Amino acid sequence: MKKFNAKLLLFGEYGLMFGAEALAVPFPHFTGELAFASQKKVAEVKQSQRDLEHFVTFFEQEGLNEQMNFPIGLDEIRRDLKRGLHFDSDIPLQYGVGSSGALCAALYQHYGSNQLDLKELKEKSWLLSSLKHDFSVMESFFHGKSSGFDPLVSYVNRPVLLVGDEIRLPSPEIQTPGYSVVLLNTQEKSPTAPLVSWFVKNMEAQEFKAKFDELFLPSNSQAIHAFLNGDTTRLFQALKSISAFQRENLQPMIPEAFKSVFQELTSRDIPIKLLGSGGGGYLLAFVPDGVTLPAKLKSLKVF
């Protein structure tokens, strides 16, 4: 069956739930695919099968197919579960790189009632919105509330930009003149739902929301467009503002062991920010050419 890539939400974390621009890219370093286990290997895939069984049950009990533009075949999934269906994936769980998104994309591809190719999606932009809606319904099983953005990126397998209600597909060729984008491994897992709940609750406080609107949103928008346009100077200006905002206002999202790393890298002119919801998993560092990361950090180059 077809493999689906992990994803990286480069910009727009949390803000995309409140209308902020967001940019995510596929990350082929990790992949996942639906597969059938042989009798000898059934025990090794039991957890994946249990997760899929719970997913189907949740969909049925909540009547979620009625909310879908293109419903998925729950009976077909149940039938194939008896044949050893599971999700064969090396995408780290609770690491912010879209393990649930890739699974939703795979289920939609194989069991969705309408199969869409990239050419059709580019010609009929409303289909992208329909897909994103369906994926938000599907991924609600994992996160309670989902934008549907992660599965969409895995499904179309190219960068996806959100600008308000508009979904755009930028060029898949991304340039990073004068710097590299690196993932920093916190070596901690982090579930998304509790952090999302914390953030949503804090956005109800006028002072917090004002800071978010005045400090984060403009810098986030500037970073996205500078990144896509190859404007390194404006990108790093925006990244420093984003990093400072997160360091000062999103403390629960920064693993304790990495709070000093935020400060250390900032002093080395290496902007560092959350990747997705944060709390663990990977963090993003933007490393200028000629500058080296501290040897103690386990990193993985992206661009």
Q: What is the pLDDT of residues 229-287, one digit of tens each?
A: 999 999 999 999 999 999 999 999 999 999 999 999 999 999 999 998 899 999 999 99
**Are the beta carbons of 147 and 17 closer than 8 angstroms?**
yes
- State how far the Cα of 77 lies from the Cα of 204, in Å rounded to an integer: 40
Residue 168, beta-bridge partner list: 161
Tell me: pLDDT of 75 over 90.
Answer: yes
The first and second tokens of residue 286, run together, are 């933007």
For residues 211 and 249, is the Cβ–Cβ distance under 8 A?
yes
pLDDT band at 41 (very low <50, low <70, confident <90, very high): low
The pLDDT value recorded for residue 8 is 95
How far, in Å, CA of 174 to CA of 224, rounded?
A: 12
Between 125-143 and 149-156, two packed helices, what is the crossing angle to 10 degrees? 120
Q: DSSP label at 158?
A: S
Query: What pLDDT is attached to residue 42?
Result: 63
Mean pLDDT, the chain, whole residue set: 92
What would the pLDDT profile of 109-166 be if each residue is shown by its tens digit? 999 988 777 777 777 778 899 999 999 999 999 877 788 899 999 999 999 999 988 9
**Per 3-state DSSP, what percentage of the chain is helix, strand, and coil (rounded to 5)?**
50, 20, 30
pLDDT tens for each residue of 197-240: 899 999 999 999 999 999 999 999 999 999 999 999 999 999 99
Residue 45 has pLDDT above 90, yes or no: no
Q: What is the pLDDT of residue 120?
A: 76
Q: Provide the pLDDT confidence category of residue 296 given band limits of 50, 70 and 90.
A: confident
| pLDDT interval class at 1 (50, 70, 90) | confident
